[in-house]
Amino acid sequence: MRRSGSILSGAAARRLPERAPDGSIRRAENQSRTGEAVADVKRVVVLVSGHGSNLQALLDAAAEPASGMAVVLVLADRPGAHGLERARRAGVDTAVVRPADHPDRRSFDLALRDLVAAARPDVVCLAGLMRILGPEFVRAFPGRILNTHPSLLPAFRGAHAVREALAYGVKVTGCTVHLVDEEVDHGPVLFQSAVPVEPGDDEDRLHERIKQEEHRLLPLAVRLLAEGRVRVEGRRAQLVTAEEVSR
Ligand code: GRF
């Protein structure tokens, strides 16, 4: 099925987003089809461009019985993204929004925003999405978008972080899981993990070891954010206990 330059599959994006007065999109109320409240399973939408190993880590974590979260939609910016196949195998709805189907970046962002919003996410996770998302997208999900980046930010922002770290000759690099704001690879940091550069590393080998850390931290960050256990003050993101969440 094709709609506004998007390729949808499954039951993706059925409902219209509900907007707050500030333009942000309301979180899901978890309800069954008949309207009664069901277990508070947090809804996660994942955006990918490629291989999708981080997506796989999220799917695996969500499949754990007590995870309390479900990946409800996987979106890609290209139909060939292997992440889509991983989602299908896990029985998760998928959609593709191709920049080439939109006249400009803004309309691409809006199409993406509306699809994501219709899935009523508690958390939106950028897991290897190789696109910069504009303000219309970011403002729709305030404090709810997570990204993983393969360097210790603020070092080596951008699309070639591992290559640039190697070229610079650093001895230690790593990954950063952070909230997304309107600047690239910039929002408050939730987790970082250091990965030593080993003699003989090339980009692929080093990136694989960095990804192992991402696979560990990203699902944890998604769960904590979904549970409301992340408090942000300025640039500082702090974890609070489950008891503090209800205060
Ligand atoms: C990850 O290292 C992520 O940090 C970067 O792209 C890579 C995606 O890997 N933005 P995968 O598609 O999850 O395997």
| The predicted structure's pLDDT at residue 143 | 96
Closest Cα to atom 9 of ligand 1: 128
| The predicted structure's pLDDT at residue 36 | 38
Give start and end residues of each alpha helix (H) in the chain: 53-63, 82-89, 105-118, 135-140, 161-168, 203-226, 242-245
Confidence of residue 33 (pLDDT cuts 50, 70, 90): very low
| The predicted structure's pLDDT at residue 10 | 57
For the sheet containing 189-196, what is the strand order?
Answer: 2-3, 6-8, 93-97, 69-76, 42-48, 123-126, 145-149, 172-179, 189-196, 236-239, 230-233
Residue 247, pLDDT > 60, answer: yes
The C-alpha atoms of residue 82 and residue 25 are separated, in whole angstroms, by: 29
| The predicted structure's pLDDT at residue 40 | 87
Mean pLDDT, the chain, integer: 89
| The predicted structure's pLDDT at residue 26 | 52
Residue 226, pLDDT > 90, answer: yes
* Ligand 1 centroid, distance to 33 Cα (angstroms): 35
Q: Which residues pair with 82 in a beta bridge?
A: none
CA dist list (Å): 31 to 37, 42, 94, 189, 217: 5, 12, 22, 32, 29
Q: Is the CB of 209 under 6 A from ligand 1?
A: no
Catalytic residues: 149
Q: Is the CB of 214 under 6 A from ligand 1?
A: yes
Q: Kindly give the number of the ligand 1 atom that is closest to the alpha carbon of 162.
A: 2
The C-alpha atoms of residue 187 and residue 26 are separated, in whole angstroms, by: 21
Location of structure tokens 């796989």? 56
Q: What is the pLDDT of residues 154-189, one digit of tens each?
A: 999 999 999 999 999 999 999 999 999 999 999 999
Q: Is the CB of 54 under 6 A from ligand 1?
A: yes
* Ligand 1 centroid, distance to 126 Cα (angstroms): 9
Location of structure tokens 């309207």? 35
Residue 132, pLDDT > 60, answer: yes
Closest Cα to atom 14 of ligand 1: 53
Confidence of residue 17 (pLDDT cuts 50, 70, 90): very low
